[in-house]
Chain A
Amino acid sequence: MERNPLRRQLQLMRKSLFDQGYLDEQFVQLEELQDDTNPNFVEEVVTLYYRDSARLVLNIEQALERKPYNFHKLDAYMHQFKGSSSSIGAKKVKAESTLFREYCKSGNGEGCMRCFQQLKKEYATLRKKLEAYFQVARQAGPMETACRPK
């Protein structure tokens, strides 16, 4: 167990993110890429993700305001969004994206809308949690590689 309280806290936060299903294996891949040449790699990627995906979320939101829904377009947006989200290991967000696409494929507008609301919630929640996590990480200083979640 980490002696350093900050690091201990960091470890716990990380573990909880995995246990609660917010993050998956892909996040570990990112962590493994972090090294001395890129000590804040993970945080940089996540920041980039949130910045870029905000655009997609906005597009989808706007598309959902136009009736009738253009499912093809919605699906295309979501496909992109899903790709991005999965690359950082955003597990719940990815799951909602998949569900959204299913609704698109079946032309279920109502389902799309509901799903999207849920997706936005997950997306926002994850963001907050990760921001908190990175804040502690920066404070804790460089630490050894994170261990794989159980």
Chain B
Amino acid sequence: MNSSSGKTYMSTSNCSTGRKAGDAAAAAADQFPVGLRVLVVDDDPTCLMILEKMLRTCLYEVTKCNRAETALSMLRENKSGFDVVISDVHMPDMDGFKLLEHIGLEMDLPVIMMSADDGKHVVMKGVTHGACDYLIKPVRIEALKNIWQHVVRKRKNEWKDFEQSGSVEEGDRQLKQSEEADYSSSANEGNWKSSKRRKDDEDETDERDDTSSLKKPRVVWSVELHQQFVAAVNQLGIDKAVPKKILELMNVPGLTRENVASHLQKYRLYLRRLSGVSQHPSNLNNSFMSPQEATFGPLSSLNGLDLQTLAATGQLPAQSLVTLQAAGLGQSTGKSGIPMPLVDQRNIFSFENPKIRFREGQQHVNNNKQMNLLHGIPTTMEPKQLAGLHHGAQSMGNLNMQVASHGSQSSQNNPLLMQMAQPQVRGQMLNDTSLGHAPRLLAPMGQPILSNGVAANVSTRNGIQENIRAPSYNPVSQTSSMLNFPMNHASELPRNSFPLGSTPGISSLTPKVAFQEDVNSDIKGSVGFLPSYDIFNDLNQHKPQNWELQNVGMTFDTSQHSNSLQGNLNHAHSVLVQQGFSSGQVNGQNRSATVVSKAMFSSGDSTGHVNAQNGNQHLNSLLVDSTVRVKSETPTNLYPDDFGQEDLMSALLKQQDAMAPAEHEFDFDGYSLDNIPV
């Protein structure tokens, strides 16, 4: 038995079959997966030796490595030198999942995890981190024989996603094809991808990009580069983020559209995972996070933002928000834009959890996004970073942390948002301090939360990051001075890792958060902040009525956070929304859906509104998408069960109307959900 097992592809000598370009490639094509280039990483020398032998027997080209760092540098040096990576989970120098993330982000290679640990939790972790497969040790050769399917599948999916993103250009597609051809080199050439795709496309592709069919060196996505990427994506709007435009925005010499395209894929996956991770079981994220999700994200973010703004500004008509949310939600998958922090156990705002729950998936996304957005923190994308973002917001810290910590960023975000909201309420309070504090400003905690949630939603939600960011981001940048700041201090969510990479955008976001605080104070007019912000303001102003509702639904924990948030919500809404929730916002946003709505409602606080409005306007333009989304999301999410969001929304809307929206224009009405690219 042993003799024949590995010799399926017998044909040529072992390994290195398809290595040589040219005839090897041609030959390899027929023999695929012979010659598949595998990188094996495991600190156990016994396992490594066995795996290498097994893989060689399968006629794969094997490179073994006993340290994750070494593997990573090997991959970076030669991005297109490998087709698939197999890595152990427990390694001394780096956690296998961390390596998995790095590889996914930087090189976009299929990664297979292995471990002697077959616990469901660990396997789930592998799934959520994006591993294409999970092997239980001891590994049998039969399991290794089929790993080539992951290579094929990934390429296929990338291509498909690429197309689905809607913005895929003809050329891109072609590029992808040729790209894939490059990657697979020997292995894929003759394979699946080829023929039909390549056709004459290659020619076009060649012209189009430099990539053409030549092997392009893999791009190393450094932190800065990624941040630029995220910023560009946010700026464009996740759903509108076409590789070509992103490339243009980034303006990085030597970067090709293909690079951007594949990175975008991974990024979306990452976002999805973020939203999904936090939620875990119920994570809708995973499901909805599909590529299409990207749009979704924005929605969520919008919701978060919108809600907040709405809340803050009070302008945002409840309806708008609701619609937005609904739109956002509906679009996303019904997940509701408001990433209900399912997991938020930590969230202070209990309401968030329940409510947001259903949006969970989204929320997480949002949260993450928001967090990121808000923080403007670089795209490290690592969940941890997001967490870091949250940290920023002190009070929000809890929330944020929550968000960050568990992956369910949504939850965290909300807290953050909430916190943010609070500061806002005070107007300047956003500072973290305020956040954590009892709702000073807004009585209804819900409000702040809303903003948070909204913010969170906004940010996390979809690709919204951009959206959210936009709001916050834009305002900040635009109105900038005002916005950016105050919030920053307040909750500045850890601008960390926020993979959103929003750095550019995000940074603005963060300021936004601060902005929120300031928003109230500063924004006054400068803020172009997120439209949602305005909404919140409005809401805040109107708070009276809604708050109650909201509070109910929001089940805010009376904890300070919630309170502060609430208060902040009013103010925070605007800020939160914008800031991306650096602290609470992020969380808030995610959760925001609910929060936002709440915030909106509760926004009764006037503090936020003023600014929000200003910000809104500004934001409106920016946020339009995001806010809209947010709104739609939040409404639904926020009070999924408790409050009939509709009720809240209507309340909100009423308020808004009453409020004399003037400034805000953010009316969602204006932004019909249609606008929201979902």
Write the residues of chain A forming the contact surface with B, with a CB cutoff of 8 angstroms: 26, 29-35, 37-38, 41, 44-45, 48-49, 52-53, 76, 79-80, 82-84, 86-89, 145, 148
Contact = CB atoms under 8 A, between A and B. Distances in A.
B57 A83 contact: no
B95 interface: no
Given A79-B90, A145-B1, A145-B3, A87 B46 contact: yes
Interface in B46-81: 46-47, 49-50, 53-54, 57
14 contacts: A26-B138, A32-B1, A35-B57, A45-B46, A48-B45, A79-B90, A79-B116, A79-B117, A80-B43, A83-B90, A84-B46, A86-B137, A87-B137, A145-B2
B641 interface: no
Interface in B116-154: 116-117, 137-141
B17 to A, nearest CB: 15
B138 A29 contact: yes
Contacts of A52: 44-46
B18 interface: no
Nearest to B142: A29
B38 to A, nearest CB: 16
Contacts of A30: 50
B5 A83 contact: no
Nearest to B42: A83
A142 to B, nearest CB: 13
B6 interface: yes
The 6 closest A-B pairs by CB, nearest first: A32-B2, A83-B116, A87-B138, A49-B46, A86-B138, A26-B138
A35 B2 contact: yes
Interface of B: 1-3, 5-6, 14, 43-47, 49-50, 53-54, 57, 88, 90, 115-117, 137-141
A41 B141 CA distance: 15
B46 A35 contact: no
Nearest to A53: B46
B49 A45 contact: yes
A34 B2 contact: yes
B137 A33 contact: no
A87 B53 contact: no
B662 to A, nearest CB: 60
Contacts of B49: 44-45, 48
Contact of A29 (B47, B117, B140): B140
Contacts, number: 76
Given A44-B49, A79-B116, A87-B137, A33 B57 contact: yes
A79 B43 CA distance: 13
Contacts of A44: 49
Contacts of A76: 90
A39 to B, nearest CB: 12
Nearest to A46: B46
B141 A32 contact: yes
A49 B6 CA distance: 23
A128 B75 CA distance: 41
Contacts of B43: 80
A145 B5 CA distance: 12
Given A29-B50, A38-B53, 17 more contacts: A30-B50, A33-B141, A35-B3, A45-B46, A48-B46, A49-B46, A53-B46, A80-B43, A80-B90, A82-B116, A83-B44, A83-B115, A84-B47, A87-B47, A87-B138, A88-B50, A145-B2
A31 B137 CA distance: 17
A87 to B, nearest CB: 4
A29, A30, A52, most chain B CB atoms within 10 A = A29
Contacts of B140: 26, 29
Given A33-B141, A52-B45, A86 B5 contact: no
Contacts of A88: 46, 50
A106 to B, nearest CB: 16
A32, A41, A44, most chain B CB atoms within 10 A = A32
Contacts of B53: 33, 38, 41
Contacts of A79: 90, 116-117
Contacts of B117: 79
B616 to A, nearest CB: 51
A31 B44 contact: no
Contact of B137 (A32, A41, A45, A83): A83
B223 to A, nearest CB: 30
Contact of B50 (A37, A82, A87): A87
Contacts of A53: 46
Contact of A33 (B44, B47, B50): B50
A100 to B, nearest CB: 13
Nearest to A51: B45
Nearest to A34: B2
A108 B60 CA distance: 45
Contacts of B139: 87
Nearest to A37: B14
B294 to A, nearest CB: 38
A80 B1 CA distance: 30
A83 B2 contact: no
B46, B50, B116, most chain A CB atoms within 10 A = B46
B322 to A, nearest CB: 49
